[in-house]
Structure 1
Amino acid sequence: MTTTASVAATEVQPYRWRWVALFVILAAEVMDLLDALVTTIAAPTIQKELGGSDSLVQWLSAGYTLAMAVGLITGGRLGDLYGRKRMFLIGAFGFTAASLLCGVAVSPAMLVGSRVLQGLFGAVMIPQGLGLIKEMFPPRELGKAFGLFGPVMAISSVGGPILAGWLVDADFFGTGWRMIFLINLPIGLAAALAAMRFLPEFRLSNATRLDLGGVALVSVAAFLLIYPLIQGRELGWPAWTFASIAASIVLFAVFGRYESRRAKAGKDPLVTPGLFRKRAFTGGLVAGLAFFSGMMGFGLVFSLYTQVGLGFTPLQAGLAGLPQAVGGVLGFGLAMSGLQEKLGRGLLQIGTVVMAAGAAVLALTIHLAGVDVTGWQLAPGLGLVGIGMGLTMAPFFDIVLAGVEPHESGSANGTLTAIQQLGGALGTAVLGTLFFNLLAREWSFGASMQVTVWVEAGLLMLTLALSFLLPRRARPEQAAH
């Protein structure tokens, strides 16, 4: 099925394989989410076997998410230009090949480089799925379709570390940590083959050439921000690290001005400037940056705390986060039972408050129990964090993408998902550096973890404040009951 039709056409004849196609897209999403998270558990073992400094632990996550972030905006536009099914297949096959390179890496540099390749191919693959969903599903079913991303993201966010811990400890065929990447081979190939059969082809008839100047500006700006945040601590924070951060801010401003001028000149910009005049979209980007920074940064630090600080094995560290997974499923179940339609933005706000409360309980538990804290004692706080995460993420994408026009969907999907990944890289850099810096000052693991948890709670409160910029509901026809 090849068409240049907009979403309006799908209201009359929605793609008949849309639910099957949705599960193919979700499989790709799972692969991406797992690979964004598995190294948080495996990082200590990888560092022990391959060598490298503490910054390697951060780069294993940040290299992937940073490459994903800078590539996603372009990835969404590639689908507009050359067809979303075609680019999904290129991304899926490339991601699988990069996973193989990660699995056979013989040095820290090769592994980080292969992680960057994973992120770039993931950036080609992931936005096509979001764009296809908006094309395949009529408006009345979009909420249900996007709602399925919630539980997938929640389960993957904690299931990834559990799976990684099990694979590392099981040491199948003597592969150890390498299996966390090699397992992508059958999953990636299956998703790509299913996509060839079930995904429809959509492409915008009026799409124009890529904005390569915009790609260069945003890529350099993001790198200049993340690199010094990760490397600065080990190098003693020389002057160039602060100059680099300042230069990144300037370049982001230059990027925005460049895109605006390009649009006024009648050329196709990398990011449609009109998107930033939509309060829901702009507010959602900033709120998402704060939310995902805290969530991803917390995941890395919690893994280091449990394994290095408490002496847990990789599997034990993964299982310690199981209450968060269970809480996430419960939160999504509550959201999908009717609360999402009834409360709209209010559900997202309730979720952030519940997450912050869970973080506070977790910090208090660590303070009171000290070095003898057990997984069972950590469970209540983590469970609340999971419930809040489920309630927050269920309506997030649907509300933020409200009001985006069909011709803006590729740019909007890519930008929103890019912010999610940039938040992950930023959180890994900032919270990871904070944690390592406190340890270097001879703070205990428990005290360092508590500070990190309180920073996470602060980011959640910032997300709550920013959420008031979002519309009350994803669609006007949704009314409270």
Structure 2
Amino acid sequence: MTNKRWIGLIALLVAEAMNLLDATIVQVAAPVIHSELGGRTSDIQWFSAAYTLPFAALLITGGRLGDRYGRRRVFVLGVTAFVLTSAVCAVVSDAGLLIGARAVQGAAAALVIPQTIGLIKSSFSGGQLAKALGTIGPVMGLAGISGPLLGGLITEVSSWRAVFLVNVPLGLAVLALSRLLPESASPRPPGIDAVGTVLLTVGTALVVYPVLQSRDWVLLAVGVAVLGVCAVQQGRRSEGRLIETSLFAHRGFAPALITSTLFFAVLSGVTLVVVLHQQLTLHHSVMQSSLTLLPWSAASGVASLVAGQWLVARFGSRLMYVGLGVLVAGLAVTPYALVLGLAVGGIGVGLFTTAFFTEALHRVEPHETGSAAGLLNAVQQFGGTFGVAAFGSLFLHHPAGLDRTVWVAVAVVAVTFATAHLMRSPRWLALGRAVQEPVRTGR
């Protein structure tokens, strides 16, 4: 039985890695896809954004569906849909069809990823649970490092279509092993907030679309208004709400969401711009551009490991500022010494992310941890989507070049310094108490 559980864990880890690999591989291959399929220049950004946008918007709902109808059942459904849409992505001959298939693929990933932690917890206990959870970080780090390399290698040796076909055998292997996973569901199934899900999805889409393509700022204002309606709806809903409003009673959680959005916008945006600069400006091959990203990914993985093992315990949340400072230094060097700048920036990324998630979650109540982690993950994906839209548009549609785009990223990181400071500011403690009081009294 124990061996079966560990084999089942492999299925969960492969599913997690498959999601991250898909996002990073496609980002590297996007210019090549566009050159073959044609279409608008903005399609290069949509190949990534069409995946991450529904993934971000449906992530929390995907977790609720697993809690209600069975995590293994929803996991299998999501992986099946992911495999099928990956196959469709590999055979389409039109950019619009590919973007549509990517959107369905992202929605499928939103069914898969939220189930993994719950299925691990239902498979293991005690010391074995800690060991099982401890495998996620290294596997994701390896996937993050190898994604750009695989994207470059597969596209160079075969074609961009093979980038999507990689998911088919991996997904079929996951489905074969998933029978070893135990079924589990929440003893108190949560409600499904369909209205909140629609409002969140429509609002985020309306915010991203004009930045990516139309430059219709009225549409962006409508998107912000829809998100505002979503916030009001969540506050008024008594139970089964999409977003657990009690989280905002904790000091620093609201600025943590802003910090996550800004930081991951820079992270995804800079990665895309480096790829575009390599392939469209310098006319390097996709393999050369993927190798250029290796110092960024590798340095981030190593720094994250070192921070998690030693530095966070010693320096605590102060490590966030160190990480952001190192990231700024790396970005400043990037226009003049690209590989060196990316390596230094990658160290900053690894230092910051480990300290940030520790700080963002450590004051959250135990029963709110799942909701908090899910919301942080969703905001991370939305930030990445917005970064691809904003930085990609700045590079593609304005004579900005790598230099100017990087300095915009430095400015955004400077704002991130301020929002990260608010996570620890005593003023937010008082605000948290003010928010928490009506929650407790039912006002």
Question: How high is the TM-score relative to the length of structure 2?
Answer: 0.88
Which residue does 2:31 correspond to in 1? 44
Q: Residue 256 of structure 2 contacts residue 360 of structure 2 at CA under 8 Å; is this kept in 1?
A: yes
User: Helix, strand or coil for the counterpart of 1:45?
Assistant: helix
Which residue does 1:179 correspond to in 2? 162
Q: Distance in 2 between matches of 1:137 and 1:292?
A: 32
2:108 to 121, 142, 161: 121
Q: Distance in 2 between matches of 1:302 and 1:343?
A: 32
Q: Distance in 2 between matches of 1:414 and 1:91?
A: 17
Which residue does 1:224 correspond to in 2? 206
Which residue does 2:436 correspond to in 1? none
* Residue 195 (structure 1) shift: 3.1
Q: Distance in 2 between matches of 1:285 and 1:136?
A: 31
Q: Distance in 1 between matches of 2:183 and 2:323?
A: 36
* Residue 282 (structure 1) shift: 2.5
2:229 to 254, 270, 273: 254
Which residue does 1:331 correspond to in 2? 303
Which residue does 2:328 correspond to in 1? 356
**One-letter amino acid of the counterpart of residue 309, structure 1:** T
* Residue 135 (structure 1) shift: 6.4
User: Helix, strand or coil for the counterpart of 1:392?
Assistant: helix
2:197 to 187, 202, 215: 215
Which residue does 2:432 correspond to in 1? none
Q: Deviations over 1:324-364 (max 9, x none)?
A: 1221232123224322322232233322221121111113x
1:33 to 4, 20, 24: 20
1:337–1:405: structure 2 CA closer, same or farther, 3 Å change rule? closer
1:192–1:300: structure 2 CA closer, same or farther, 3 Å change rule? same
1:344–1:82: structure 2 CA closer, same or farther, 3 Å change rule? farther
The answer to whether the aligner puts 1:194 opposite 2:182 as a matched pair is: no
Q: Residue 76 of structure 1 contacts residue 410 of structure 1 at CA under 8 Å; is this kept in 2?
A: no
* Residue 98 (structure 1) shift: 1.1
**One-letter amino acid of the counterpart of residue 191, structure 2:** R
1:400–1:79: structure 2 CA closer, same or farther, 3 Å change rule? farther
Q: Distance in 2 between matches of 1:347 and 1:187?
A: 37
User: Helix, strand or coil for the counterpart of 2:334?
Assistant: helix
Matches within 5 A, 1:10-409: 23-132=10-119, 149-171=136-158, 176-197=159-180, 199-232=181-214, 237=215, 241-263=216-238, 267-363=239-335, 365=336, 377-405=337-365, 407-409=367-369
In structure 2, list runs of 5 or more residues that go unmatched.
426-443
In structure 1, list runs of 5 or more residues that go unmatched.
2-14, 366-376, 473-481
Question: How high is the TM-score relative to the length of structure 1?
Answer: 0.81
1:277–1:470: structure 2 CA closer, same or farther, 3 Å change rule? same
Q: How many residues align?
A: 425
1:333–1:408: structure 2 CA closer, same or farther, 3 Å change rule? closer
Q: Deviations over 1:411-443 (max 9, x none)?
A: 33332211111111100111111112223xxx5
Which residue does 1:368 correspond to in 2? none
User: Helix, strand or coil for the counterpart of 1:208?
Assistant: coil
* Residue 145 (structure 1) shift: 6.6
1:339–1:196: structure 2 CA closer, same or farther, 3 Å change rule? farther
Q: Distance in 2 between matches of 1:144 and 1:253?
A: 41
Which residue does 1:426 correspond to in 2? 386
Which residue does 1:5 correspond to in 2? none
Q: Deviations over 1:276-301 (max 9, x none)?
A: 22234323221111111111111111
Q: Deviations over 1:70-113 (max 9, x none)?
A: 11121121122122222222212211111111111121111111
Deviates more, 1:92-101 or 1:458-467: 458-467
Q: Distance in 2 between matches of 1:431 and 1:248?
A: 19
Q: Distance in 2 between matches of 1:422 and 1:431?
A: 14
Q: Residue 155 of structure 1 contacts residue 328 of structure 1 at CA under 8 Å; is this kept in 2?
A: no
Q: Deviations over 1:308-333 (max 9, x none)?
A: 11111000110111111221232123
Q: Residue 148 of structure 2 contacts residue 294 of structure 2 at CA under 8 Å; is this kept in 1?
A: no
1:412–1:333: structure 2 CA closer, same or farther, 3 Å change rule? closer
* Residue 410 (structure 1) shift: 4.5
User: Helix, strand or coil for the counterpart of 1:54?
Assistant: coil
Deviates more, 1:318-327 or 1:408-417: 408-417
| Percent identity for Structure 1 against Structure 2 | 39
Which residue does 1:451 correspond to in 2? 404
1:460 to 413, 431, 435: 413
